[in-house]
Structure 1
Amino acid sequence: MAAFIAKQVVGDKLSSVKGAIGKDEEGGGDTEKENAEALEIEEARREMEEKRKEKHRKMEEEREVMRQGIRDKYGLKKKEEVQEEEADPMADGRVGRKKKTPAELAAEANKDDSDDEEFAKGFPPNLSELSSKVSEIPAKLAQGVGEVTEKCVLQ
């Protein structure tokens, strides 16, 4: 009786395995069905991505309206920005910033130089005189301490 039960259990498993193998061999229509499902899934993903992009675009428009209201209220000027549409269209999936052209690098270097000049213009004209006096202070202080230590006698 135990052999009958064992044969029944093993026999069911073998027939299920044989059935699975047989279905794969004769199932030419399954691949067409799978391809159709894959296309539907891809289309659904594409639609979801478009909806997500549209949602983010609308949110950014709302934020820009809010930013403009703040600029108007406080009299701030809008920073000039490079339009994203003008940027490299092939860099959509790219991580990181876009590379600067030599012209952009030169303009940036000139801007840094002009910033230094403007910064120097803000100082008083006798700055070199003041800086020399400040550099003399430690020497005068050391000299004064030396004089005091000569006058004092430690017992």
Structure 2
Amino acid sequence: MDFVMKQALGGATKDMGKMLGGDEEKDPDAQKKEEERQEALRQQEEERKQKHIRMEAEREKVRQQIRDKYGLKKKEEKEAEEKAAMEAPIEGSLTRPKKAIPAGCGDDEEEEEESILDTVLKYLPGPLQDMFKK
């Protein structure tokens, strides 16, 4: 009967002690194997990243060839041009900023009166010009 029990359990009798909380066998090279495994994972990850960078560079090269062929611009360039166009004052626009109004056009009424008076004085005869200037 013992023979049959040993055959049924096989090598499980050795593991019974571990299951019940006995001491585990420690592999002396376990630490070294774990470090090698971690290094291999890091190396694989680095290779994957390098491959991705190379592929992306090739894709960008093809994209640039297409842009050159059809005269297209990059999205960033388009956005920069649109932003510059929005900032530039548009001639004759009703919504342009006040500081963009050229000098001599607009708010200073005294300047307009002086310029009109000077214009009228130019067409008057000499003695009348002297009277108005005094």
Same fold (TM over 0.5): no
Name the TM-score class by shorter chain. 0.3 to 0.5
TM-score with structure 1 setting the length: 0.40
TM-score with structure 2 setting the length: 0.45
Q: Compare the two structures and name the one with the higher helix fraction.
A: 1
